[in-house]
Structure 1
């Protein structure tokens, strides 16, 4: 009887050890970080349904100010970009362009809070 119990204990120990060796890492090296996912979503919104690309470019003024300029000014003045996109805050970058931007509030007001934060993170990724 003692031999059976000993054998069972050894088999149990060996089988548990094998399961531990086969476990894959919880976060593989190829997994994207939350920040990378957020930036990708922000870029997708910027280039897609947000229609931001029509007036804003990364490093040059087209119709509206560049992304770099927007990020710089919002960062310096501790502005709330999300509130502005929801038309709950006054413009701080180029108030003379406010009327042009107002037409896009129809789009930005319909973005989810997650999408707005991702868009904000995407803009801030251009700040130096």
Structure 2
């Protein structure tokens, strides 16, 4: 009976030892990592990517904000007024001043048929400083 008790005790100790935390065997050699897939995205840019021009950046803010120009002019499309690309091309080709026009001191060069509509906006542009008008010109000529 003593042998049975001793065998039973040895079996119990063996069971306790073998039921502890099991560690998985680590592979030999250098561990390898699985490659991580990365996602590439593309953005659509509506305006050409150019070096930042602080004067043109300020002009864009005025164009889209207090100047209310964006309600009639778009970068590539004629809405009520001509597109910015058309305005830019015409004023560059004729070496003309957009500032002089916005002050109401020059005839329209791009689309004279819309001049009466534009004249209503001279109340806004005539209140702008020379710097604001120059920034608007820089923004428009950036197209």
Normalised TM-score (structure 2): 0.63
- TM-superposition CA deviations, 1:55-101 (whole Å, max 9, x none): 00000000000000000000111111100000000001011110000
Q: Which moved more, 1:35-44 or 1:81-90?
A: 35-44
Q: 1:85 and 2:102 equivalent?
A: yes
The total of aligned residue pairs comes to 92
Q: 1:123 and 2:135 equivalent?
A: no
- TM-superposition CA deviations, 1:3-36 (whole Å, max 9, x none): xxxxxxxxxxxxxxxxxxxxxxxxxxxxxxxx62
Deviating runs (4+, > 6 A) in structure 1? Answer: none
Task: Give distance in 2, aligned partners of 1:83 and 1:75.
Answer: 14
> What is the CA distance between 1:118 and its match in structure 2?
0.4
Structure 1 unmatched runs, 5+: 1-34
Task: Give distance in 2, aligned partners of 1:38 and 1:80.
Answer: 16
The answer to which structure has the higher helix fraction is 1
Q: 1:41 and 2:94 equivalent?
A: no
Secondary structure (helix, strand or coil) at the match of 2:76 reads coil
Match of 1:54 among 57, 71, 81: 71
Secondary structure (helix, strand or coil) at the match of 2:62 reads helix
Structure 1 counterpart of 2:116: 99
Task: Give distance in 1, aligned partners of 2:73 and 2:66.
Answer: 14
Larger Rg: 2
Normalised TM-score (structure 1): 0.70
CA RMSD after TM alignment: 0.8
Structure 2 unmatched runs, 5+: 1-51
> What is the CA distance between 1:50 and its match in structure 2?
0.4
